[in-house]
Amino acid sequence: MQAKSNKSHEQVELGFGTKSYNKNVRFLNKDGTVNVRRKGLRSYDNIDVYHWLITTSWTKLLIVILAFYVLVNTLFACIYFALGYEHFGGIEGFTGPDRFMDLFFFSAQTLTTVGYGHVYPNANHVSTVAAIESLCGLLGFALATGVIYGRFSRPKAALIYSENVLISPYKEGKGLMFRIANSKQNELIEIEASVVLSYTNPETNKREFNVLNLERNKINFLTLSWTIVHPIDEQSPMYNLTTEELVKRDAELIILIKAINDTYSQNVYSRMSYKASDFVDKAKFVPVKQDSDNDGHILINLSDIHKYTPVHN
C-alpha cells in the first residue's frame, strides 16, 4: 500500500542530508555514535588523542598506559646504557642484559620519582638525563590523571534500549513502541524523548526525516522502564506502510533522549537507532517484572525489557 503524502508531516534536517545511498546504511550506530567517516584531510587532521582516550574502553586505555610506560622506560634505559653503565653506582649485573635491566628499573624509579637509591648516577651528563626523565614522569602522570578523572567525571546516560521496535495494538489502531530503562543506580530526571523516522521517498529518491508524534515525550523520573509510543494514525508518516515497505525504503528510526543526571546536576544525552529490519509487526511487550524485597525496595528485572509476544488478530 502507498503512504499518504508527507507534505503535512513535520520534517527536520538532522545534518545527514537527503542523499539516498540505495544500500543498508546506518546514520547512527547502535551505541549512539554517528556512522560517518571523514576523508580528504591530511592524516594528522583526523587525530584526536584526547577524544580517543576519553571514549575508548577501559581495557584499551590500560593497555595503552602500560605499553607507554614500558616503552618510555626502555627508551631511557637504552639512553643510559649508551652513555655508559660505568657512570652509575650500584650496578650489580655482570652481563650486558643484567646491566640493562638494572638501568631499566633505575629508569622506572626515576620516572615515578620513587628513587630507591640502589642505582644512582655519578656523572653530570647522566644526572641531566635522569632529571629530564623525572620531569617527563611528572608531566606524564599529570596527563594520565587528567584523562582518568575526565572519564570518571563525564556524566553519562547509561540507558538500555529494547532490542526491537514493535508495531503493537494501540487504542483503536496501532502504535510503534520501544522501551528504555536506566541501567545505573543514579537518578535521571526530566527525561525527554525525540524520535525521527528517516526513509527514502520512492518518488524523489531522496531521504526524508519526519518527526514522530509521541503519546508522551517527557516524564519526570526514569525509575522503572518507559515504553515510548508513536500512534500510527492518519497523521503518521507510517500510516498504511507495512514493515516490508519500510525495509524497501531503508527506514531508520533515530532516537535522542535528553535527561538530567541527578548525581552531576548536568544534562546527559543518549542516542540510538533502529533499522527497519529491527521492527517486529503484530507483537506486544511482556510487562517488566516488578517485586519488592524485605526492606521495602522495589525490584525490577531489566532483562525483561527485550521480551515480547506475538499478537494474533
pLDDT in tens, 139-187: 999 999 999 888 888 877 789 999 999 999 998 889 999 999 988 888 8
Domain boundaries of the chain, sorted by first residue: 45-153, 159-310
Q: State which amino acid sits at residue 61.
A: L
| CA trace torsion 294, 296, 297, 299 (10° rounding) | 60
How confident is the model over 257-304, as pLDDT tens digits? 999 988 888 889 999 999 988 999 999 999 888 888 888 888 888 888
Rounded CA separation 106/110 (Å): 6
CB distance 219 to 191 below 8 Å: yes
pLDDT at 36: 75
Closest by CA to 21, choosing from 249, 278, 274, 237, is 249
Same fold, 45-153 and 159-310: no
> Residue 254's pLDDT is what?
93
For 6-42, letters b (16+ CB in 10 Å) and e give: eeebeeeeeebeeebeeeeeebbeeebeeeeeeeeee
> Residue 28 above 60 pLDDT?
yes
Residue 3, pLDDT above cutoff 70: no
What is the arithmetic mean of pLDDT over 28-55? 77
**pLDDT value at residue 21:** 73
Q: Please state the pTM of the whole predicted model.
A: 0.74
Rounded-to-integer distance, Cα 167 and Cα 273, Å: 16
Percent of the chain residues past pLDDT 90, beyond the cut: 44
C-alpha cell at 109: 624509579
Are 173 and 233 contacting, i.e. CB atoms less than 8 angstroms apart?
yes
Q: What proportion of the chain, given as a percentage, has pLDDT over 70?
A: 95
Average pLDDT over residues 75-82: 95
CATH 3.40.190.10 fits 45-153, yes or no: no
What is the C-alpha separation between 61 and 59, in angstroms, rounded?
5
- Chain segment 189-244, per-residue pLDDT in tens: 999 999 999 988 888 888 889 999 999 999 999 888 899 999 999 889 998 888 88
Neighbours of 226 (CB within 10 A): 20
- Over residues 69-94, the mean pLDDT reads 92
C-alpha cell at 32: 549512539
Q: Average pLDDT over the chain, rounded to whole?
A: 86
Q: Which residue has the higher pLDDT, 257 or 27?
A: 257
Q: Which three cell numbers stand for residue 24?
A: 543498508
- Domain 159-310 bears CATH identifier 3.30.70.20: no
